[in-house]
Structure 1
Amino acid sequence: MTQTVAIIGGGVIGGGWAARFLLMGWDVQLFDPDPEAERKMSEVLGNARRSLPGLSDVSLPPEGRLRHCATISEVADGAVWIQESVPERLDLKRKVYQTIQEHCAEDAIIGSSTSGFKPSELQDCATRPEQIVVTHPFNPVYLLPLVELVGTAKNSDALIHRAKDVLTSVGMYPLHIKAEIDAHIADRLLEAVWRESLWLVKDGIATTEEIDDAIRYGFGLRWAQMGLFETYRIAGGEAGMRHFISQFGPALSWPWTKLMDVPELTEELTNQIAGQSDAQSGHLSIRELERVRDNNLVTILRGLKAQDWGAGRILNAQDARVTKIANSIDDVADLSQPILTVKRAVPLDWTDYNGHMNEARYLQAFGDATDQLMLMIGCDADYIQSGGSYFTAETHIRHLDEVHAGAEIEVRTQCLLGEGKKLHLFHQMMSGDTLLATGEHMLIHVSLETRKASEPAVQVSGPLAKLAKAHAALPRPEGAGSAVGVRAG
């Protein structure tokens, strides 16, 4: 049976909550007095539909039903979870809770998205304080998994357990904070960085962009996959966290920051931190942690590379500087031979459970070779923007040998046919003298306006004809035109 969640407040956070619950199969009842609420929710939901399903390697549940409600009494009716995301005004939140509790089920959980208020402050004056907990998420709620779950002694263990189950069921990570504190955990850490950043701007030390660059090109990447303490455990080397504290602890008394109210690193505190770090990561050696870190960073950086954003843009610029692959037919030294279209190392995230490059990455490498060949004949970004491109109609790949992470591979491309609407390519992937795989591809030139086959413009057909003529004298490569081999009997 489909469950129902009530969302009160449809702004950035409330809309994100609604999108996550909807896409995880819940029915959503939304209340927001803003006359633009339906439009804004539609736009947030559009972004969520575009992005959230891509995080999963299985299909999501059928999407729930969204209903916009005119009153709090209507939105609370039948809901097993009620998420309050109204502005950060304590008097407003308390008033909303009183209205909610007049109409909601007594066993419904009321979660607050508050980033600063303690649950005891929210529960004060409530009819049933035991229903109310803090469930503080992070934007975008439909993508980021963290929810800070904070309760008080008035909340039963059963309710906290149930809250964890609900949040886990919609793909989130409930971090149960067992002691109340203003702004919980994550925002206190963010606030420390924010305050120091404000001083750096005010004192003329750095611009906003320089501060963002310091984070996104450096420690922000490490934090994204290991957090703070595990990162510093590695920095301590084989001696671990205790060595890191002894080496860098004295810096806490140096005027590196405006935030100089820091705890004394007593033996007791050092033992506490080192012991917790051992419990967290002690099952892995420093070398093992380093390999995990490196795998994670490669995955993150390559994702950023695909978007040409942040540190990924730095990597793309470096690739452009060091590439030895021609960008034009006219720049190829010997056009009579198959053309070098890919030269690279196999990255860590291209390998599978057998320890070698997985099938999809062979296709990606050959796809990259095709893209490079298209660039060389003039089918570049400007040409595609003008309305013409090539679509792949058929592909045949032969897997001939293994290739592992770190191996240097080259792809050389032969043009078997390049006339009219057709482009027939044959790629050979090599590692040294070893032939690893071949890829044969038939592409058709199309008009992006009509999405139908069309003749290429002269700026493409000319270089392509030149290439096809130069390759016409080459012998037909072994395997060209072959199909999947099935032996009779």
Structure 2
Amino acid sequence: MKAAIIGGGVIGGGWAARFLLNGWDVALFDPDPEAERKIAEVLANARAALPAIYDRALPPEGRLSFAPSIAEAVADADWVQESVSERIDLKHKVYAEIAEALPERGFIASSTSGFKASDLAAKGAPVVVVHPFNPVYLLPLVELSGEATLRDKARPVIEAIGMYPLDLNVEIDAFIGNRLQEAVWREALWMLKDGIATTAEIDEAIRMGFGLRYAQMGLFETYRIAGGEAGMESYFAQFGPSLHWPWSKLTDVPDLDAALVKKISAQSEAQSGHRSIRELERLRDDNLVAILRGLRLSGSGAGGVVLAHEAGLPPLGERDGLPVTACRSVPVTWTDYNGHMNEAAYLELGTWATDALMQLIGADAGYVAAGKSFFTVDTRIRYLAETKRGERLEVTTQVLEGEGKKMKLFHRVYGESGALAATIETLLLHTDLTTRRACPPCAAVAQKLAALAQAHMTIPAPGAGGAVGQRN
């Protein structure tokens, strides 16, 4: 599959990274002579961030090329994403060029942050609004607006690259997300202009307070809880009258004169000017990865989108005659102050590899729900090479012993270079969850486990069975 990205700025670069890391080839057109450098920097951030929110490997990365013209970028493209500046005359000019090279039954997906699809398509080009949020390679929301048939074509592609399409059946300027952001932005500008708050104080109020709630529940569910057991009716009874109080200036807009712009710029520089934009982007990405990984545990909000996308990723397969039981990138939450993967993370990685092996033999969630499982009783980890943030790891699992109540596993952890980074040896006992005592597994599980043990018997396992500190 091929995506054509027209415009390689912040949003276009994010789209390129999202498609590439989901296995699409990308042809990008941008007349900026610095485009290749800028895209390379965005892609470096994305490679470290997007795979880190998944517990399975994304598809092999697609091929990136820089086209010398719009026509060459669009030729044979399965998806065309327009991400040029927010000037409708420029967009219409670009659409005319795209339309000349657009494949039959193709359409243009616009990243516009405010124009209605009907305005974008006013000169006859088949345009649908596909409005993302920055960083495109991490945040899942895409607002779809425009002709229903084009939205229907766009939706499955958006879902296939791990994003969440929100259908807008009524055309409005700026859509939903930007209107809500604009309301907060206007109020913030008034507080700055009136000397009520600084840029740092406003940001602290959001990130230390309601921003954390919004990440997992949004607006109305948050207020429903605020109403207590009686719910939304109680909330409105308590706080509804405040809507008529003179708290807000949302119906008015401050004049962004030179004095206000200078004031905001100076405060912003004092707040975060000690970091470069790339440093701030990496900080943002690391924080978002941690939040998204937290949300995926419960499947809440964007975490549910990650889980749904992950469920459709390719199976792990085999390596050297052994099943691959884990293939994932190292998230920032697994690293320590030295910048490399810490001991607890190796244990967690081994836990998930063991879980995958258990599923392979039928000791899955249904088996556990029926009252039986394997419990870990001993683990030995050998650390053989440093592993850093963003590095892709692959784990194979060998069954060393699989009869009676015992299951002994040997996990090999391979780094991105293919070298062995660690080994994890684990002994488990099959347990009755009702009595909490060891017992033989059911016949079907025992047979599958014994078959794997037999198949793995002839495979050498150097490093297994040694004492702590023993390397050979």
Fold equivalence (TM over 0.5): yes
How do 1:296-375 residues align onto structure 2 when only pairs under 5 Å count?
Answer: none
**Residue 176 (structure 2) aligned to one of 159, 171, 185:** 185
Matching of residue 149 in structure 1 with residue 144 in structure 2? yes
> Please, what TM-score do these two structures have when normalized by structure 2?
0.57
Deviation at 1:211, TM superposition (A): 1.0
- The equivalent of 1:76 in structure 2 is 74
CA deviation profile, 1:326-380 (whole Å, cap 9, x unmatched): xxxxxxxxxxxxxxxx9xxxxxxx9x9769xx989x989xx9xxxxxxxxxxxxx
- Structure 1 gaps of 5+ residues are 262-291, 309-341, 343-349, 368-391, 403-439, 445-489
**Residue 188 (structure 2) aligned to one of 193, 197, 206:** 197
- The equivalent of 1:41 in structure 2 is 39
Change (3 A) 1:294 1:395: closer
Deviation at 1:442, TM superposition (A): 3.9
- The equivalent of 2:131 in structure 1 is 136
* Kept in 1: contact 2:78–2:106 (CA 8 A): yes
Deviation at 1:245, TM superposition (A): 1.7
* Kept in 2: contact 1:116–1:183 (CA 8 A): yes
Matching of residue 230 in structure 1 with residue 225 in structure 2? no
User: What is the number of residues matched between the two proteins?
Assistant: 307
Identity %: 58
- The equivalent of 2:155 in structure 1 is 164
* Kept in 2: contact 1:393–1:442 (CA 8 A): no
2:165 counterpart SS class: strand
How do 1:207-226 residues align onto structure 2 when only pairs under 5 Å count?
Answer: 207-226=198-217
Change (3 A) 1:195 1:65: same
CA deviation profile, 1:266-300 (whole Å, cap 9, x unmatched): xxxxxxxxxxxxxxxxxxxxxxxxxx999789x99
Matching of residue 244 in structure 1 with residue 239 in structure 2? no
- The equivalent of 2:17 in structure 1 is 19
| Alpha-carbon distance in 1 for matches of 2:82, 2:422 | 51
* Kept in 1: contact 2:379–2:425 (CA 8 A): no
| Alpha-carbon distance in 2 for matches of 1:251, 1:260 | 16
Change (3 A) 1:401 1:60: closer
Change (3 A) 1:10 1:217: same
- The equivalent of 2:94 in structure 1 is 96
Amino acid at match of 1:220: G
Change (3 A) 1:51 1:260: same
| Alpha-carbon distance in 2 for matches of 1:443, 1:210 | 55
- The equivalent of 1:65 in structure 2 is 63
* Kept in 1: contact 2:128–2:150 (CA 8 A): no
Larger radius of gyration: 1
Runs of 4+, deviation exceeding 3 Å: 292-297, 303-308, 352-355, 392-402, 440-444
Change (3 A) 1:161 1:401: same
| Alpha-carbon distance in 2 for matches of 1:114, 1:146 | 14
Structure 1, 157-166 or 393-402: larger mean CA deviation: 393-402
Amino acid at match of 2:139: L
2:174 counterpart SS class: coil
- The equivalent of 2:321 in structure 1 is none
Deviation at 1:233, TM superposition (A): 1.1
1:50 counterpart SS class: helix
- The equivalent of 1:52 in structure 2 is 50
| Alpha-carbon distance in 2 for matches of 1:193, 1:443 | 60
1:183 counterpart SS class: coil
Deviation at 1:63, TM superposition (A): 1.3
Deviation at 1:8, TM superposition (A): 0.3
2:59 counterpart SS class: coil
- Structure 2 gaps of 5+ residues are 253-294, 304-330, 337-343, 345-351, 356-364, 384-420, 432-466
* Kept in 2: contact 1:394–1:442 (CA 8 A): no
| Alpha-carbon distance in 2 for matches of 1:178, 1:142 | 25
| Alpha-carbon distance in 2 for matches of 1:199, 1:52 | 36
2:231 counterpart SS class: helix
> Please, what TM-score do these two structures have when normalized by structure 1?
0.55
- The equivalent of 2:118 in structure 1 is 120
Name the Cα RMSD after superposition: 4.1
| Alpha-carbon distance in 1 for matches of 2:297, 2:158 | 30
